Structures are given as structure tokens and as C-alpha cells.
């Protein structure tokens, strides 16, 4: 093990950090909606199968690369394939998380604004106009993007143990508790029954080949695969850590949080008699409206729930954004020999500018989003699976990943290609 590299203090700390990267906006605004649209509990069952048999092998591939090479994404590829041109592809694995971080920080900024508004004044009924005016106002979202990115930078600046590990150790339990409080509020609202059955009723008639593609795509995004975050965090794991066990625990945390989020959101949406929508609208328009509407009986409680909800979103987004930030910092400190402070400043400058462009031009936002989710993440995953399954020392990888090795070698590559293709035809 290379001396001078910081490590997580235990395997459990590493699992919490990887769960922090996984748990994010994808669990809150995408999973509940997908479940409802694709057969409720039947979708959850398919999702579980996809996560454990198709997505986790990709996770293992990244993890075994990181833990074995004890390097950042670029350095890891150089070590596995010395002298090969693959190393230039390694640069892409540094760029991908920074592009995602840039637009993710814009949405993180919106959550900061919503947290602020729910604390200071609460929302009035016309939340949609508020959202549209705010996001097109220029200065407000830019300021919030700056605040969110600064928060991320401060945590990363503190280092692997005192920054990333400490923040996740506190945040993950807090996130679960906050979400459970919101579930308690949501399922006791009058009229929440249909929302609960929306989550638990298995409707197998809705299952089509498409359902598998959706479940796989969701698992891919939710576990933060193909971005290098899993690789980088795994490189901070000690030499004896169990990769398979850490991966399974991360997936269990991520899945449990997604299901709890479904039970927090859908019953409230149904209680308010609203059609559940996907994407930013669900969090930034529908839910605040519900908090206002439900406030007539117990305004204080609804307002408090709104504060807790947006706090959950800000914290969940931060635990993800620090993982992407760290990929860039690990690259600059190890490959370019920068101090951590300088690396944090350089990454801040890059992501602030790109995020500002995404904040002002919605076209740039969508472009970065689809570039990363449709191409770069898939490409990164394919690269990692190829390296772990076909380039690294076979006996070592087999020993580390047993019994998942054949999945990494034979199942993951066609699964990734299948998602790539279906993204275009669906
Ligand atoms: N997994 C995060 C979510 O579900 O919101 C999103 C994400 C985080 C994607 C980190 C990629 C990444 F590197």
C-alpha cells in the first residue's frame, strides 16, 4: 500500500461513503415515479434482481480496480495497462464526474433555495410560478449553485477521513431518520391509501422488456456507476477489505432508501389528489404545493415537514456531490502533484463555470445531462468492466470477487451495451 495516501478508518466507513454517493436525487425524484409507472411492487422486484445481478458486477469491477491499484481513476488505468493508449481514455473518467457535478450542483442549489424559503416564509399555492420565476431569474440560482458548490468544496478540503468520512457518518443515519419522519407524516394524511397501494400492489401486466431496461438504467444511475466515484472511494479502502460484501451493503442501503422515499412521496401525492410526475417537477413543484395544501389543518407541522424534506434533499445531494468532487481532487493531487487545497480550488473553478452555464442556459443543462447519462457513464462502465474482467490479473480478480467474477467478465459487458442501445430506441 502506498504510504501517504489517506484511507477510510474502516470498511463500514467506506460503505457509508459509497452509500452516500449512491443515495441522492435519483432515489428521491426518480425511483418512486418509476415504481408507480411500471407495475409498483412488480417493478421493485425486477429492480432488485437488476441491481444485484447486473449493476453490482459493474460496481465490483470499479471497486476491485480502485482497491488493488490504490490510485485515482487515471493512475489506476495506467497501472493496469501500462504504456497503452487506454490511459487517455482515463482522462474521460476524470471529466465525466466533473460534468455531472456541474449540473448536479445547480439542482443542489435549487434545493438550498427551497430549504431557505421553507424555513423563512413557506410557500404559497402557486409553487409552479415560483419555480419558473426562480430558475429563470439568473442571479438567484447562480448564487445558490455557488453556495452548494462551496459547501461541497469545504467538506472535500477537509480530506478523506475528517471531511468525507465524517460527513457521511453523520449524514447517512440522519437521512434515514428524516425520511422515516416524512413517511410517518405522509402515510397518515387523509386519502393516502391509494398512494400506499401504488407502491405495494404488484401489477405484472405492466411488465414488458422495457421495464427491465428502465430498472437497469435506474440501478446504474443510482449506484453511481461508470463515473469513477466507486473506484476512487475503493482506493481509500485497506488491503484486506471485502469488496463483494461492501458492494452488497452499499446496494442494500441505496435500495432501502429508495423504497422509503417512495413511501414518503407517493402517499402524499395521492392524498393531495395530484398526478405524480417525474423529474424536478415532482420535488420542486408538486411536493411544496402539497405541503401548502395540507397545511390548512396543521400549518406548523406541514411547514416543519417541508423544512425536513428540503434538508433531506440538500444533504442527500451533498453526499453525492462530494464523491464526484473527490474523483477530480484525487487525480490532481496524485497525477499533477498539487496540494489538496490547490486541487479543490481548480475543481471549484471548472465546475463553477460549467455549472453557471448550465444554470443560465437550460439547453446546456440538458446537453450535459444526456451526454453523461447516455454516453459517458456507459462508456466508463464498459472501460472498468473490461479492465477488471479482461486486463487485470485473472487469479487476483477471481479471488477478490468470488463468486461474482463471471458476472463481471461475461454478464456485465452485454448488460451495459444493452442499456446503451435501449436508451436510444425507447
Ligand atoms: N447516485 C446519485 C443519485 O442517485 O442521485 C447520482 C450520482 C452520484 C451519479 C454520483 C453519479 C455519481 F458519480
* pLDDT (average), residues 336-350: 98
Neighbours of 46 (CB within 10 A): 19
Q: Is pLDDT of 280 > 80?
A: no
Query: Lowest mean pLDDT: which of 88-92, 169-173, 179-183, 192-196?
Result: 88-92
**DSSP category for residue 81:** S
Query: Measured in angstroms, how far is the CA atom of residue 282 from the centroid of ligand 1?
Result: 18
* pLDDT attached to residue 297: 58
Q: Please tell me the chain's helix, strand, coil percentages from 3-state DSSP, rounded to the nearest 5.
A: 80, 0, 20
Query: Measured in angstroms, how far is the CA atom of residue 225 from the centroid of ligand 1?
Result: 8
Alpha-carbon gap, residue 242 to 101, rounded angstroms? 29
232 within ligand 1 shell (Cβ under 6 A): no
20 within ligand 1 shell (Cβ under 6 A): no
* pLDDT attached to residue 1: 43
Percent of the chain with pLDDT over 90: 65
List CB contacts of 320: < 8 A, sequence separation 6 or more.
Answer: 20, 21, 22, 23, 24, 25, 104, 224
Q: Is pLDDT of 303 > 90?
A: no
Query: Measured in angstroms, how far is the CA atom of residue 16 from the centroid of ligand 1?
Result: 14
Alpha-carbon gap, residue 301 to 305, rounded angstroms? 6
Asked if 23 and 320 touch (Cβ cutoff 8 Å), the reply is: yes
List CB contacts of 223: < 8 A, sequence separation 6 or more.
Answer: 22, 51, 55, 56, 58, 59, 230, 250, 251, 254
- Provide Rg for the chain, Cα atoms: 21
* pLDDT attached to residue 373: 85
Averaged pLDDT score across all residues of the chain: 91
Residue 278 pLDDT class (50, 70, 90 cuts): low
Could you write out the DSSP letters of every residue in 217-282?
A: HHHHHHTTTTSSHHHHHHTTS-TT--HHHHHHHHHHHHHHHHHHHHHHHHHHHHHTT-----THHI
Residue 2 pLDDT class (50, 70, 90 cuts): very low
235 within ligand 1 shell (Cβ under 6 A): no
- Ligand 1 atom with the smallest distance to the CA of 27 is 4
Ligand 1 pocket mutation pick from 17, 18, 19, 24 by most atoms within 8 angstroms of CB: 24
Query: Measured in angstroms, how far is the CA atom of residue 319 from the centroid of ligand 1?
Result: 9
- Ligand 1 atom with the smallest distance to the CA of 22 is 1
pLDDT one-digit tens code per residue, 243-258: 999 999 999 999 999 9
Asked if 21 and 230 touch (Cβ cutoff 8 Å), the reply is: yes
Q: Is pLDDT of 331 > 90?
A: yes
Q: Is pLDDT of 219 > 50?
A: yes
Assign residue 288 a region: left if phi > 0, alpha if psi is -120 to 50, beta otherwise? alpha
Grid coordinates representing 50 are 437488476
* pLDDT (average), residues 149-153: 98
pTM for the model: 0.94
Task: Say which residue the cell 453523520 belongs to.
Answer: 170
* pLDDT attached to residue 195: 87
* pLDDT (average), residues 99-124: 93
Query: Measured in angstroms, how far is the CA atom of residue 58 from the centroid of ligand 1?
Result: 15
Is 399 exposed, middle or buried (CB count within 10 Å of its CB: 0-12, 13-18, 19+)?
Answer: exposed
Cis peptide bond upstream of 403, omega within 30: yes
Phi, psi for 281 (deg, rounded to 5): -55, -35
Q: Is pLDDT of 239 > 80?
A: no
* pLDDT attached to residue 383: 95
Grid coordinates representing 155 are 467538506
Alpha-carbon gap, residue 172 to 113, rounded angstroms? 22
93 within ligand 1 shell (Cβ under 6 A): no
* pLDDT attached to residue 3: 46
Task: Say which residue the cell 421493485 belongs to.
Answer: 44
* pLDDT (average), residues 122-149: 89
21 within ligand 1 shell (Cβ under 6 A): yes
pLDDT one-digit tens code per residue, 26-59: 999 889 888 878 888 899 999 999 999 999 999 9
Query: Measured in angstroms, how far is the CA atom of residue 191 from the centroid of ligand 1?
Result: 33
224 within ligand 1 shell (Cβ under 6 A): yes
pLDDT one-digit tens code per residue, 356-381: 999 999 999 999 998 998 889 999 99
* pLDDT (average), residues 211-238: 93
Q: Is pLDDT of 296 > 70?
A: no
Of residues 31 and 278, more confidently modeled = 31
Q: Is pLDDT of 395 > 50?
A: yes
Q: How far is CA 291 from CA 141, 297, 301, 304, 340, in A?
A: 22, 11, 9, 9, 42
Is 351 exposed, middle or buried (CB count within 10 Å of its CB: 0-12, 13-18, 19+)?
Answer: buried
Amino acid at each position: 500500500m502506498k504510504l501517504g495516501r489517506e484511507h477510510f478508518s474502516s470498511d463500514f466507513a467506506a460503505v457509508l461513503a459509497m452509500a452516500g454517493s449512491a443515495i441522492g436525487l435519483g432515489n428521491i425524484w426518480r425511483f418512486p415515479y418509476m415504481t408507480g409507472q411500471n407495475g409498483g411492487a412488480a417493478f421493485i422486484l425486477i429492480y432488485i434482481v437488476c441491481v444485484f445481478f447486473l449493476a453490482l458486477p459493474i460496481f465490483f469491477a470499479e471497486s476491485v480496480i480502485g482497491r488493488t491499484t490504490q490510485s485515482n481513476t487515471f493512475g489506476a488505468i495506467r497501472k493496469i495497462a501500462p504504456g497503452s493508449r487506454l490511459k487517455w481514455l482515463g482522462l474521460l473518467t476524470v471529466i465525466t464526474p466533473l460534468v455531472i457535478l456541474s449540473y448536479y450542483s445547480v439542482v443542489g442549489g435549487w434545493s438550498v433555495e427551497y430549504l431557505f424559503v421553507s424555513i423563512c416564509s413557506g410557500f404559497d399555492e402557486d409553487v409552479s410560478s415560483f419555480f419558473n420565476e426562480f430558475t429563470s431569474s439568473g442571479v438567484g440560482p447562480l448564487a445558490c449553485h455557488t453556495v452548494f458548490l462551496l459547501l461541497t468544496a469545504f467538506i472535500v478540503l477537509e480530506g478523506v477521513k475528517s471531511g468525507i468520512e465524517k460527513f457521511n457518518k453523520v449524514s447517512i443515519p440522519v437521512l434515514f431518520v428524516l425520511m422515516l419522519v416524512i413517511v410517518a407524516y405522509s402515510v397518515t394524511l387523509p386519502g393516502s391509501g391509494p398512494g400506499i397501494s401504488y407502491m405495494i400492489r404488484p401489477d405484472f401486466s405492466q411488465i414488458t422488456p422495457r421495464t427491465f431496461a428502465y430498472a437497469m438504467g435506474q440501478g446504474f444511475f443510482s449506484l453511481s456507476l461508470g463515473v469513477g466515484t466507486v473506484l476512487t472511494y475503493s482506493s481509500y479502502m485497506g488491503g484486506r477489505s471485502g469488496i463483494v460484501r461492501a458492494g452488497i451493503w452499499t446496494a442494500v442501503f441505496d435500495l432501502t432508501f429508495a423504497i422509503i422515499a417512495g413511501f414518503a412521496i407517493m402517499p402524499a401525492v395521492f392524498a393531495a389528489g395530484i398526478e405524480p410526475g417525474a423529474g424536478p417537477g415532482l420535488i420542486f413543484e408538486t411536493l411544496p404545493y402539497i405541503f401548502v395544501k395540507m397545511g390548512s389543518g396543521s400549518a406548523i407541522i406541514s411547514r416543519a415537514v417541508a423544512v425536513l424534506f428540503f434538508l433531506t434533499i440538500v444533504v442527500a445531494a451533498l453526499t453525492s456531490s462530494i464523491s464526484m468532487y473527490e474523483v477530480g481532487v484525487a487525480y490532481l493531487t496524485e497525477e499533477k502533484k498539487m496540494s489538496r487545497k490547490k486541487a479543490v480550488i481548480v475543481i471549484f473553478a471548472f465546475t463553477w463555470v460549467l455549472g453557471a452555464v448550465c444554470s443560465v442556459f437550460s439547453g446546456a443543462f440538458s446537453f450535459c445531462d444526456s451526454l453523461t447519462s447516455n454516453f459517458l457513464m456507459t462508456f466508463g462502465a464498459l472501460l472498468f468492466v473490461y479492465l477488471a474482467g479482461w486486463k487485470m490479473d485473472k487469479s487476483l480478480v477471481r479471488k477478490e470477487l468470488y463468486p461474482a467474477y463471471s458476472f463481471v467478465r461475461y454478464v456485465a459487458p452485454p448488460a451495459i451495451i444493452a442499456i446503451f442501445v435501449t436508451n436510444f430506441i425507447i
